[in-house]
Amino acid sequence: MAPIAADLRYIAADHLSTGGGVLEGAQVFSRADVSLGTLAGALVDPVHRNLCYLVVDHRSRLLRHRYLLPLDLTRFDPGRGALLVDADVTDLREVPMEQFAPFSDADLVTAIFSPRAA
């Protein structure tokens, strides 16, 4: 996986939706139908108006891990209300989320007025 750009912004899952509704708490399953955790949010690039990564929250006992999944590996299954990813647990990359600022009103203005990427 390529290095993660520090200028990406975090959007919590309760602000993400599809035609089927809000994605907060959606389960994330691997190609082997193993639960990888729940959708916590996404990392976006406001300048280029791209959704870059999904953030998966995985809890085990007392530990909490946050993993990034490239968006191109993911599809939504409306019947299950879950995200299906073409990845396994070994493909996940844990990233400290404190390096990403939350998506702000200023980021929204940047995204609205940035020229659309070709």
Q: What is the pLDDT of residues 73-101, one digit of tens each?
A: 788 888 888 889 888 777 777 887 778 88
**What pLDDT was estimated at residue 112?**
81
Torsional sign, CA 35, 22, 41, 75? positive
Question: Structure tokens of 81?
Answer: 């209300």
The chain-wide mean pLDDT, for the chain, equals 82
Q: Which domain holds residue 67?
A: 9-95
Whether 67 maps to a domain, the answer reads yes
Whether 108 maps to a domain, the answer reads no
User: Lowest-pLDDT range, 2-6, 52-56, 60-64?
Assistant: 2-6
- Rounded to an integer, what distance in angstroms lies between the CA atom of residue 20 and that of residue 8? 26
- Half-sphere exposure in the Cβ direction for 4 (13 Å, CA): 24
Whether 102 maps to a domain, the answer reads no
Whether 116 maps to a domain, the answer reads no
Domain harbouring 59, CATH code = 2.30.30.240
Helix residue spans in 1-118 (DSSP H): 105-113
Whether 101 maps to a domain, the answer reads no
**What pLDDT was estimated at residue 118?**
47
Q: In the chain, how many domains are there?
A: 1
Whether 107 maps to a domain, the answer reads no
